[in-house]
Each structure stands twice: as C-alpha cells, then as structure tokens.
C-alpha cells in the first residue's frame, strides 16, 4: 500500500493540496492528536505512464489549519507525516542554498558554519594551463560542481543565473540568514554565496577576454576528502561556450549587485569589475565569431560539459549585454542585432539547462522593462509566444499522469530532477508574461501554478519511489548521494539540502544497469546508492533550479496571504 505525499508539506493558504494513492476507497486526514480534519473518496483511476501503475488522486485542499498530518486509508495504512503551515517551504528553500556553502573550494569549512561537516582548506595550489607546461594560473576558490572536485564555467554560469534571477524576481524569499561566514554583512546571503563563485569565475578569464572551459585534475579523484586530493589541476582550453556563458553571467551579476537595495560601495565596485569582465568577454566573442567548442583531451575523464553549438550561449550573452546596456542608458544596437540574428535561425528559447541556455535570453528580455524596450515589440512578442506555447504544452502533460506533472515518460533522463524544476522556471516565466498582459489571464496563471506545485510535490516525495529527493527533508529523504565528501567523511547522514539527480529511464552506471530490470517504468528507475552517479549524483545547478521554483511559490503564497488579509 502506498500513499504518496509531499513529505515536507503544503502551504496553508493554497488550495492545491494533493496526494496519490495506489488503491481506491475512502481516506482521512488526521492531525498529530489523531483527530480527523478531512475525509473523502479517492478520485477516478488514472493509468499512469510515468510509473506503470493505476493510481488514485486525493484532494484535501480545503484544510488550512496549521499542524502535522498524515493521510490514512480505511484499512489503516498511513502516509508519511507532513506539515500544513504558512511558508512551509522556507526550510528546504534555505537549505538548498546553504548546501552550496558545503561545496566551497579553497577554504576550510569551520564547525560554527558547517556543523559536523568540517574539513581543511582544499585545492589551494595553482593550476597549470593545459598544453602550456609551466604556465600556472591562480584560480583558487569557487564551488565543487557536483560529486567530484572539478569546477566548470558553463554549469557555474547557469547556477548563478538561476539564483540571481530568483533573487531579482522574488526578493522576499531571500531574507533569512544562512549561517555562512558572510552572514550579517548587510547583503542577502544568496548574493554572498554567489559572490564566492563569481570571484573564482573572474580568475578563469584570460587578458584577451577568453575564458577557460574548466578547472579539474586529469582524472576524477577517488572517494577521499577534498583536502586529500593533491593531484595537479589544469585550466583547460578556452571555449566560446564558456566565454559566452561567462559574459552573460557577468553582465547579469553586474546589474543585480549594483541594483540590489542593499548595495553599498563595495558591491558597486564589485559590479564594475563584473561589468568590465563581461565587456572583455563580449569583445572576444565578436573577434571570434566561429564556434570554438570543447572536448576532453584523450585520456582525461573529468566532466566535459561539451556541446554541439554555441548559438544559445551567444544568444544569452547578447540578451544580457543588451539588458545591461539598456540599464546603463547606453546604445543597445550591437547586442540587439546579434540577438535578432540568432533568433532568426529558429532557435528555441524555453530551456534553462547547461546544454541549452536560450531560456535565459527570454528571462532577460521578458522580466525587465528596459531590456524589453531595447529588444523591440516584435522580438518581445516572439519570445512571449514561445514561452506561453511551451507553458501550455507542459501544463497539458499534467493532464495525462496521476501526479499532475509536466513530464512525459521520455523526460526521465540523467538529471531528470533538473528537468522537473527547469520546467517550473518556464512556467514561472509564463506567469510573468501573463501578468504583463493582464487581460483575462487569472485562470491560466492558476493552471501553471498548480503544475509548478506538482513539480515540487514530486521532488519532495509525491512520487512512486517513496523518496524525497532532497537530503534531510521528509521522513524518507534519500541519504546516499554520489558525493565524495559525504562518502568519505564518516558521518552517517549527508548535509541537508542536496537535490538528487533522480530517476533515469536509461541508467548509465554499472550498478544501476545491473539492478534495474530492462523495461522498468521510468519513474521507478532509481536507487539510493552513492555508486549510482547516473541516478543519485548532486550538482550545484540542480539545486539552483529548485531554489528558483521554491522562491516563486514562497513569494506567491505571501502575496495570496496578504490579499486575503486585505479582503478581511
């Protein structure tokens, strides 16, 4: 018997409170004292293609009283315990940001900030520019990207982009201090944490503006603590992929740090450094118009983060440079022309992953009045249409599975939880577009928000595996991420806040291939094993994507609560 719930909980003032059961019949919702606050029948059966089961929805949206609850069947089977309360996502939202602190490279993690997850400073030496023996680069710092100890520009830019846009659009969701070394300095901690990564990224730019693609050893380290990894690190070749993503990220960050309501002299000076770096990168891109892609040298096995085109990266760079220039009241023609040139190739503009960053160009234009004016009405309408059409397609997917999710069976790939949350970003952008358009959009916004909530419900336990895919949150949170520090630190539980890669219908590691039978429905293709890097690795950009969606939901819940108070 299974009753699948969001194991963290449901926002009190939101009517979308749903669970899924694997049997029909009557169900009750009980609080911690055993009192029944809701009872009802399961909904109509749904033959679910994501998990290969016939499932039954439960809707208890009328319950708003704060408390701890569980669902129970007539036969006495119980769900995991969850909370109904206001701002119920605050804890997991903040933990997913704080998790990035535990990936800091080049510094010691101290007990007062890291609790038991302490370690000495790691990777403090200089790195060698690959292919140039003796040419050393001082590029300490930044975040370890994933379960390994490498640092990579393209996923770093995506992570920073998602976090900065989330902060810029939903500022109220980033007010709490996170207990990191910079806490209390007057700047929101999400900007403090992002700066740690941005400072490293700045070190990866050459004087001519080009940006090294990545900084890693020749091969992945064994499962040892980071300070024990003494291999020489290399700065690998400059790529147009890294340079364009870097350009976009720096231009965006220059706006955010200088435009933040808490910005002081130091932040303004930092913003000027970011702006200068963006301009150098843009100059390099203009002087090198042909794609300069990246592949690993033969024999090296660290993350490649390769791509087949740099068009989407250049599009994002053009959009952010145009937005920055418009913000500074400068001439935007050069950037607008490049933006339109790439858009005219038919490039899709609705994705936010490291492979395809074109969705960030839409974010840049459609969330900023000055950028929209600079882009022109025709371009704005083109982007709005693309975003809304994709949002409608995603919302329609939710009508064909029991979880209400914007996922098809083929979407459960390596890092499927990034697909889950990136689609939440697209739906949030669609809501922004509708907010601008205003006329007759309330029902459509509600539909998109319901799907966004379903995506987060899934991530936090309302799925066929029974796991919450965020460490430390939920009665059955996964516990064994593919992460070298948690495997080597001798501590039973991992640090809280890491998003798992999630189910993968085509598993790519030896253990998963051996243990998951061929033909298993995609949502069931998951193991909570640290060996399963194709299912259970974590990355900085899976966290940042989830942070964006929880920020949206937190802010909207507050808006709804305020509106209800005003009406009362």
Residue 480 annotated in active site = no
User: Among residues 11, 145, 148, 320, which one is catalytic?
Assistant: 148
DSSP state of 103: G
Q: What is the dihedral of CA 26, 30, 36, 38, to 10 degrees?
A: -60
Residues 6+ apart with CB under 8 A from 488: 223, 224, 225, 228
CB-facing half-sphere around the CA of 525: CA atoms within 13 A: 30
Is the CA virtual torsion 237, 125, 277, 245 positive or negative?
Answer: positive
- Per-residue DSSP letter, 501: -
Q: Which two tokens stand for residue 67?
A: 């408390």
Helix, strand, coil share of the chain (percent; to 5):
45, 10, 40
16 an active-site residue? no
Q: Are 139 and 214 in contact (CB under 8 A)?
A: no
Here the tokens at position 104 are: 């800091």
Tell me whether residue 528 is one of the annotated catalytic residues. Answer: yes
| From 77, 182, 528, 531, active-site residue | 528
DSSP labels, 387-421: HHHHHHHHHHHGGGSTT--S--GGG--TTHHHHHH
Residue of 312, 390, 482, 509 with catalytic role = 482
Q: Does the annotation mark 537 as catalytic?
A: yes
| Interior/surface letters 504-530, b for 16+ CB within 10 angstroms, e for the rest | bbebebebbeeebeeebbbbbbbbbbb
CB atoms within 10 A of CB 7: 23
Any idea which residues carry the catalytic annotation? 148, 482, 528, 537
């Amino acid at each position: 018997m299974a009753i699948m719930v969001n194991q963290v909980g449901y926002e009190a003032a939101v009517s979308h409170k749903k669970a899924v059961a694997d049997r029909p019949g009557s169900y009750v919702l009980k609080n911690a004292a055993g009192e029944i606050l809701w009872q009802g029948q399961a909904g109509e059966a749904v033959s679910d293609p994501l998990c290969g089961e016939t499932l039954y929805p439960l809707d208890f949206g009328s319950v708003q009283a704060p408390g701890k609850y569980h669902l129970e069947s007539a036969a006495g089977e119980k769900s995991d315990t969850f909370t109904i309360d206001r701002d119920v996502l605050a804890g997991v939202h903040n933990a997913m940001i704080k998790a990035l602190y535990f990936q800091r490279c080049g510094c010691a993690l101290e007990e007062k900030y890291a609790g038991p997850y302490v370690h000495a400073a790691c990777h403090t030496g200089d790195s060698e520019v690959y292919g140039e023996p003796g040419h050393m680069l001082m590029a300490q710092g930044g975040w370890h990207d994933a379960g390994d100890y490498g640092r990579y520009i393209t996923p770093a830019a995506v992570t920073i982009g998602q976090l900065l846009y989330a902060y810029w659009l939903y500022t109220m969701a980033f007010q709490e201090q996170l207990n990191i070394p910079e806490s209390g300095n007057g700047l929101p901690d999400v900007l403090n944490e992002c700066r740690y990564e941005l400072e490293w990224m700045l070190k990866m730019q050459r004087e001519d503006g080009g940006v090294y693609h990545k900084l890693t050893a020749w091969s992945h380290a064994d499962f040892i603590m980071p300070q024990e990894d003494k291999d020489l690190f290399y700065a690998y070749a400059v790529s147009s992929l890294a340079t364009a993503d870097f350009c976009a990220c720096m231009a965006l960050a220059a706006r955010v740090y200088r435009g933040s309501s808490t910005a002081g002299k130091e932040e303004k000076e930092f913003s000027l450094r970011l702006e200068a770096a963006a301009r150098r990168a843009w100059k390099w891109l203009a002087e090198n118009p042909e794609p300069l892609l990246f592949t690993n040298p033969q024999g090296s096995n660290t993350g490649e983060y390769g791509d087949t085109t740099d068009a989407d990266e250049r599009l994002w760079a053009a959009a952010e440079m145009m937005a920055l220039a418009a913000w500074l009241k400068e001439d935007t023609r050069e950037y607008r022309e490049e933006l339109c040139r790439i858009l005219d190739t038919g490039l899709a503009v609705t994705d936010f992953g490291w492979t395809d960053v074109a969705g960030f160009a839409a974010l840049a234009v459609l969330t900023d009045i000055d950028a929209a004016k600079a882009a022109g009405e025709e371009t704005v309408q083109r982007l709005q249409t693309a975003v809304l059409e994709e949002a409608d397609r995603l919302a329609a997917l939710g009508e064909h599975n029991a979880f209400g999710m914007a996922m098809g069976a083929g979407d459960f790939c390596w890092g499927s939880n990034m697909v889950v949350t990136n689609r939440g970003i697209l739906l949030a952008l669609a809501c922004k577009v509708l907010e601008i358009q205003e006329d007759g959009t309330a029902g459509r916004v509600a539909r998109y928000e319901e799907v966004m909530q379903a995506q987060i419900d899934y991530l936090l336990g309302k799925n066929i595996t029974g796991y919450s895919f965020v460490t430390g949150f939920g009665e059955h949170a996964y516990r064994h991420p593919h992460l070298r520090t948690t495997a080597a630190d001798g501590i039973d539980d991992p640090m809280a806040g890491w998003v798992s890669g999630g189910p993968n219908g085509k598993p790519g590691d030896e253990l998963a291939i051996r243990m998951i039978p061929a033909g298993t429905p995609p949502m069931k293709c998951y193991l909570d094993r640290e060996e399963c890097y194709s299912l259970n690795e974590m990355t900085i950009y899976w966290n940042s994507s989830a942070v964006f969606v929880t920020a949206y939901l937190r802010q909207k819940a507050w808006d709804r609560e305020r509106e209800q108070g005003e009406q009362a």
